[in-house]
Amino acid sequence: MKDDDALHAWLALSLTKGLGGEGARRLLMEFGSPEAVFAASIGSLKSVVKADVAAEISKGIKKEDIAPALSWLEDGNNHIVTLADNDYPQSLLNIPDPPLLLYVKGRLDLLNRPALAIVGSRNATPQGIGNAEAFAKSLSDTGLSIISGMAHGIDAAAHRGALRGQGGSIAVVGTGLDKVYPAANRDLAHLLAQQGALVSEFPLGTPPLPANFPRRNRIISGMSAGCLVVEASLQSGSLITARLAIEQGRDVFAVPGSIHAPQSKGCHALLKQGAKLVESAQDILEELGGLLVTPASTPAVETLEIQGSCGSLLDHIGFDPVDVDTLKTRSGLTIAELSAMLLTLELNGLINTIPGGLYQRIH
């Protein structure tokens, strides 16, 4: 990481009202660095950006604007990487609009590991969720990091599968990293922050605005060597990620499904457009063979010893689908305790999540 003055300038530039990524890149090309931008005269700034933006920059770095980010950085697990940092994902330098900087919570070493994006429908079928977890686990065990967006459905399943493997997982989100969206994935977000990484280009405090998610999708595809769409309708936002992957020169893979299933229509459309049909992780590995790495010492979720409260909870779940309220009554645990234990059991491959908020034992 660079010195404090340089970091302050990067932060201030990224937070400048009305500037945007394109304007910031023009300024950096003209002046060379954020510090030089803030040292430039208003006349020279006006030759590059609009007058109101130039006037805003000429006011200098506002300490009150960057203070929240600097306070956030006091946590040793929080990081900010800029275009000038070695830790910045090198693959993003090859896309048309790389973010000026990234907020990162978790492991910086994952940002430049060979990676694959796994995306798909929020309203996934049980089969789709199972497929996403299986692909993610198998690919992660080869050393690939799995990148997704931490949405419900396929995204969350991909993260869970990857965390059971050796390659780690990165969630690229559409909010500031001081927020978790969707809130139901709070436990997953916590686990990703500890064993993987959460990444965002959006400043702290940014809410989950609809326009944010297509923008973050370019980072998901841009950080990845390829994009696997497991299950998607024709309206699924994951098709945006696939389109961006194609535009960025990445491989796109799709899992076929029933011709009668709405959640397969998007995958079939991609296959008609030239996406590679895959039935197993090996199909992807054959395409990405040059990227394979020896599995690193990623702290995968430890195998759970079925004892104590977790063991009792597993007995309460059984092999028939059951909801959280029933489990709360059976176990006597609080909702917070249940959420943590259910996530642990699921990450260890002992239970499945079923649409409708149900859980089912599989081992």
Q: What DSSP character marks residue 230?
A: -
Q: Domain ranges in the chain?
A: 1-74, 108-291, 308-361
Taking residues 325-330, report their average pLDDT.
Answer: 85
Mean pLDDT of 8-37: 94
Residue pLDDT, tens place only, 67-108: 999 999 999 999 999 999 999 999 999 898 999 999 999 999
Spacing of C-alpha 192 from chain mean position: 9
pLDDT at 301 > cutoff 90? no
- What percent of the chain stands above pLDDT 90? 76
Reply yes or no on domain 108-291 having CATH 3.40.1350.10: no
pLDDT of residue 346: 73
What distance in Å separates the CA atoms of residue 14 and residue 34, rounded to the nearest whole number? Answer: 9
Tell me how far apart the alpha carbons of residues 172 and 133 are, in angstroms, rounded to a whole number. Answer: 18
Residue 332's CB is within 10 A of a number of other CB atoms, namely 11
pTM of the model: 0.81
- Of 207, 200, 151, residue with least CA distance to 172: 200
pLDDT of residue 354 exceeding 80, the answer is no
Please compute, for residue 124, the number of CA atoms within 13 A of its CA located in the half-sphere on the CB side.
Answer: 28
Q: Is residue 318 pLDDT above 80, yes or no?
A: no
- Multiple choice CATH, 1-74, 1.10.150, 1.10.10, 1.10.3470, 2.60.40: 1.10.150
The answer to whether 197 and 142 have CB atoms below 8 angstroms apart is: no
Q: What confidence score (pLDDT) does residue 297 get?
A: 45
Task: Give residue 303's pLDDT.
Answer: 40
Tokens 């990067």, located at residue: 10
pLDDT (average), residues 296-305: 44
Backbone torsion region of residue 78, taken as left when φ is above 0, otherwise alpha when ψ lies between -120 and 50, otherwise beta? beta
* Longest CA pairwise span in the chain (Å): 72
Q: What integer is the mean pLDDT of 117-143?
A: 94
CATH topology of domain 308-361: Arc Repressor Mutant, subunit A (1.10.10)
